[in-house]
Chain A
Amino acid sequence: MNTDYVLMKGNEAIAEGALRAGCRFYAGYPITPQSEILEYMSLNMGKRGGTFIQGENEISSMSMIWGAAAAGARCMSSSSGPGYDLKQEGISYLSSYNLPAVIVYAMRYGLGDGEITAGQDSYWEAVRGGGHGDSRQIVLAPASVNECASLTYEAFDIAEKYRNVVIILSDGAVSQMIEKCNLPEPKEHDIDEFDWVISGKPLGTKKNKVTNLDRTIGYEASDKYVLDKYKTMFENEQRWEEFETDDAELVLVAYGISSRVCKTAVRQARKNGIKLGLLRPVTVWPFPRKAFEKMPESVKGYVTVEMSLSTQMGEDVLLAVKHSKPLYSYLTTYHIPTADGIVDYCNSVIAGDVEPREVI
């Protein structure tokens, strides 16, 4: 029996996972449904010898992250909805300097203020929205409290490996739920580990600089560096989980809270002889295209299950399968999908009562 667990919320697991990875600087601003991350950090960061700052707003917090990242610290910020919009400027700057940092996005639903409850309609913003300019961020989508801890813990290594921003894409449900969590081993990070960090240097020695678009190596070399980096990230970092896909006729594609309900739906459907499977992207960028390439011949179509108004991840599925299979989307907006609802929708798809989707 597993006795090494703790019972904690997804948000707390994200914060503890970061602290155990050696994150010693956090700056952010409260917003539901991720405020427990700040609460946890404010309570525990000092005990680990780090610095917690509740900035006067999201923009200033991101500027602090920018400074901490340039100095070589493992650093993190977090937000949701309208707060995350304000983080994007900072993400663009971090990207322009090739600085590693971890940013958490706990999605709430809706436009503007929207709802404070769970949603998945900020997928595009998280996956495509690195602020202005051309940039890519690796986006990890935990579906359990355990993954909240383990993926955040790992995110810092990935960020440093590529000198890139990594996003933890959670939602109001995964962030707020309590489950058993096995926490990773605590470790310390050496702030001077990398030769690119800005640190004090004696007079007469060459000092590191971070400059916009990092043109220190020349325009062409800099562009090549960035493009090569994105290609390498795309090649190397695709991750996913498959469930009952071997002989599936219809494959559900879902991440975060929806993917959990999908698993229940697959079990339920299979009891009645309906061959559903689930493909759960763990990275939503890079989207796990390799998983689609190796799907069995039996697959007749894909069904995304998303808490959004229009099909967002569905577009990535169409790109992944190059339009070779029909796409359907079961969209539940601010309602958590139900297993019954998913199975009913799939039955309608099988019966030919649902039109495949292109966009919207």
Chain B
Amino acid sequence: MADIIMAGFGGQGILTAGKILIHVAAGEGKNVSWTSSYGAEMRGGTASCSVVISDEEIGSPYPAKLDVLLAMNEPSFDKFIGDVRDGGYVIVNTSLMSKREYPKNVQVYGVDATDKANNIGNNRAANLVMLGAMMKVTGMVSVDKFGEGLQDYFDLKGHNTSTNIECYSAGAEDVKAL
């Protein structure tokens, strides 16, 4: 159903964003896989995870072409934009992007994820702002339903805060086509 890469700096919560996504999608009865880049390149460089969501048995957990790219910083955007299918969705964190032209063969959306999360008072939750934007734009799971799943993920972890869902909702509300 969807081949996705989520990427950003190490520490932006990219791997967690992927884990929340598979938690919710699996709960919806989908097959899911999550793989992360690991190794020396993670320190200060780009961290990323690949997520595959499918009704079928999942073959390769490393998609070659992407339906969705979620880029939390500019280097991640540059690294993976070429892998997005024509017509695919790209969600960028405009807080950390320079003013630039975006390719026309894909649908690019942006949200000030880092700024939003800081303003709400949860500077670690820019990843959740991005997830809100992603659900709004792709309609992969309805915004409300995914929000419940996100709450469930943090409740199970035992450290949910009210700002989590606030950040997520802000992303869904403020995402704009670029």
Which A residues lie at the B interface, using CB under 8 A?
1-2, 5, 7, 32-33, 115-117, 173, 176-180, 260-265, 267, 336, 338-340
Q: Which residues of B contact A339 (CB under 8 A)?
A: 59-60, 64
Contact of B57 (CB < 8 Å), options: A115, A262, A263: A263
Give bound CA distance, A2 to B33, whole Å: 16
Contact of B26 (CB < 8 Å), options: A33, A180, A263, A336: A180
Give bound CA distance, A213 to B23, whole Å: 51
Whole-angstrom distance between the Cβ of A276 and the nearest chain B Cβ: 13
Give bound CA distance, A5 to B38, whole Å: 25
Do residues B32 and A116 form an inter-chain contact, with CB atoms below 8 A?
no
Q: Which residues of A contact B60 (CB under 8 A)?
A: 260-261, 264, 336, 338-339
Do residues B26 and A5 form an inter-chain contact, with CB atoms below 8 A?
yes
Interface centre among B38, B39, B62 (most CB of A within 10 A): B62
Do residues A260 and B35 form an inter-chain contact, with CB atoms below 8 A?
no
Contact of B58 (CB < 8 Å), options: A32, A176, A179: A179
Contact of A180 (CB < 8 Å), options: B32, B38, B40, B64: B32
- Asked whether B85 is an interface residue with its Cβ less than 8 Å from the other chain, the reply is no
Q: Assuming A177-B34, A180-B26, what are 14 further A-B pairs, CB within 8 angstroms?
A: A7-B19, A115-B39, A117-B39, A176-B35, A176-B36, A177-B61, A178-B34, A179-B31, A179-B32, A260-B59, A260-B60, A261-B60, A263-B57, A267-B59
Q: Which residues of B contact A33 (CB under 8 A)?
A: 38
Interface residues of B in 1-58 (CB under 8 A from A): 19, 22-23, 26, 29, 31-36, 38-40, 57-58
Q: Which residues of B contact A338 (CB under 8 A)?
A: 60, 62, 64
Give bound CA distance, A330 to B7, whole Å: 30
Q: Which residues of A contact B36 (CB under 8 A)?
A: 176
Do residues A173 and B64 form an inter-chain contact, with CB atoms below 8 A?
no
Whole-angstrom distance between the Cβ of B87 and the nearest chain A Cβ: 19
- Find the A residue at minimum CB distance from B59: A264
Q: Which residues of A contact B32 (CB under 8 A)?
A: 7, 178-180
Q: Which residues of A contact B31 (CB under 8 A)?
A: 179-180
Q: Which residues of B contact A179 (CB under 8 A)?
A: 31-34, 58, 61
Give bound CA distance, A232 to B27, whole Å: 44
Q: Which residues of B contact A340 (CB under 8 A)?
A: 64
Contact of A178 (CB < 8 Å), options: B19, B40, B59: B19
Whole-angstrom distance between the Cβ of A39 and the nearest chain B Cβ: 14
16 interchain pairs (CB within 8 A)? A1-B29, A32-B38, A115-B39, A116-B39, A117-B38, A173-B35, A178-B35, A179-B32, A180-B32, A260-B59, A261-B62, A263-B59, A264-B60, A339-B59, A339-B60, A339-B64
Do residues B22 and A178 form an inter-chain contact, with CB atoms below 8 A?
yes
- Find the A residue at minimum CB distance from B61: A177
Q: Which residues of B contact A180 (CB under 8 A)?
A: 26, 31-32
Whole-angstrom distance between the Cβ of A84 and the nearest chain B Cβ: 19
Give bound CA distance, A178 to B62, whole Å: 12
Q: Which residues of B contact A267 (CB under 8 A)?
A: 59
Give bound CA distance, A126 to B57, whole Å: 28
Do residues B26 and A176 form an inter-chain contact, with CB atoms below 8 A?
no
10 tightest Cβ-Cβ pairs between the two chains A and B: A264-B59, A178-B34, A261-B60, A263-B59, A1-B29, A177-B35, A338-B64, A264-B60, A336-B62, A260-B59
Give bound CA distance, A267 to B59, whole Å: 10
Do residues B59 and A176 form an inter-chain contact, with CB atoms below 8 A?
no
Q: Which residues of A contact B40 (CB under 8 A)?
A: 116
Do residues B61 and A7 form an inter-chain contact, with CB atoms below 8 A?
no
Whole-angstrom distance between the Cβ of A95 and the nearest chain B Cβ: 33
Q: Which residues of A contact B34 (CB under 8 A)?
A: 7, 177-179
Interface residues of B in 53-83 (CB under 8 A from A): 57-62, 64
